[in-house]
Amino acid sequence: MVNSKNVAFKVDKQSPARWPPPQPYSTVINCRKPGSKRASKQAQGIRSQQVPLTKVPGISLGERKRVWEDEDAEDDERSPSPSKKVLRSGIDAPIFSPTAASRTHPSSTKPTRLRRGKPLSKGIDLDSWFTILRFSDPAQLLEMRTKIASCYRFLRDNPTLWKHSRNYYYGETLPDPPSELTEFQYAHLRHGHGCMSCGTTATRKTYWAFLRRWCKNCLQAKVIREPEARALLKGSNGEDISFIQKCLPAGIFDSWGNFVGVGPAHTHSLKTVYLLSDVENLVAEFIRESRENYVSWHAEMRTWISNKSKTVEERREFARKMELWEDMTRTTKSYNYQEKKDARKLYYIEKAGKLDPPINAKLVEHCPSFKRAIAIPKEPSMNSWLQLKPKLEKEAFEIARGLTSGVRQESPFLGGIISPLPLLTDVSTPPMQSVTGLCTPNTEYC
């Protein structure tokens, strides 16, 4: 019997015998702390032989007991026979099953413990990450790809993940990207911010006609009007090639130089604009193709122009859908904001009418704190009302005292009633009897 933990002892070897020994024998070492000085001196030699035990992987005693109990319960269910136990030295010794122990190994059944500041020792497989991230917002995926290095390659190499995320959050309302854009580029234009030319962080406007996000100054510097573009559409020998103008993506500017939508323009007040880089690249590609296919270029030119026109038309349709979707989203958001503001207004007026003494709705609407509170597009709550209540009572008291200046009676907010008195100097202004709702029927200030 050993009464110590985390120490190892050298025990006498048991000689193998084909028959049981006449009496059981073993080496018993008692390492409990002795109470007397003499016992401590005697045990000094024993302590010197103590060495720390190494941690042996296996199953703990508590796990073994649970395994034994589960096996006993399974045996009882299988047969009504007595439980399978063997009597050894008068003690019931349960049978241990290695297969059951492997099923209940702590590493396979113990859940992962999440601790702050301690990274997980076991990673998550890529299939699980794909399932998790497909239910994330595309804006969140864009943020993870930009700021988390471990997510960069995974999000770059799985374009379908962006599509699943977009369909999950927006459904069929958001149009699919054109063939010119990948899913990541589409998400970057839709949810990113910052000018793609000068890097201005406050820029969020995306010009879908050009598939770029620029600030207003960069846009003005990169576009040219239609007459200027026609002057640049010249071949290698200076011949006019303005017939390829329909292969250029176009936008529309108004008379003040503001971008109003995808082009071309069909009215005199609106102007068609093109990107200078698109015009130069198109002319350079036309000249290169004509030189490489000099013999058959006259026959292949129509096919080349037709393919370019289809690409431009696809972008044009996509840009119109995106502009319509953004307008609808903006209108819906504005409508939802207005609903929340109206809900806050009704909620605060109702709460003000239940105060002691109550505050009239007309007087509440003249309080500056009430005007600021109902301009917030959020749902009303008790916390917001508790923050507004002291400000509302103070401002309503000051307004009532200013309207009733010269009256000897107390203010209604202090429990008294104000006698009838014409307000200010306007003769047409109806008299006010009480700010708390005891006004005459014709009053407009209560």
State the pLDDT at residue 5: 52
What would the DSSP string read from start to end of 40-60? HHHTHHHHTT-EEPPPPPS--
Give pTM, 2 decimals: 0.57
Could you say which DSSP state residue 294 is in? T
State the pLDDT at residue 114: 76
Question: Smallest Cα–Cα separation from 196: which of 125, 270, 277?
Answer: 277
Q: Which secondary-structure segment (H or E) carries 411? A: none
Is the CB of residue 66 less than 8 Å from the CB of residue 73?
no
Instruction: Please give the Cα distance from 281 to 229 (Å, whole number).
Output: 12
Q: Which secondary-structure segment (H or E) carries 167? A: helix 159-170
State the pLDDT at residue 86: 40
State the pLDDT at residue 273: 95
Q: Which amino acid is at 229?
A: A
Q: Tens digit of pLDDT for each residue in 317-355?
A: 999 999 999 999 888 888 889 999 999 999 999 999 999
State the pLDDT at residue 82: 43
**Token reading at 308:** 């370019």
Residue 48, classified by CB atoms within 10 Å of its CB into exposed (0-12), middle (13-18) or buried (19+), is: exposed
Residue 4's CB is within 10 A of a number of other CB atoms, namely 15
Is the CB of residue 106 less than 8 Å from the CB of residue 136?
no
Q: Tens digit of pLDDT for each residue in 160-180?
A: 899 999 999 888 889 999 999
Is the CB of residue 252 less than 8 Å from the CB of residue 273?
yes
* Residues in the chain, pLDDT under 70: 1-109, 120, 122, 404-446
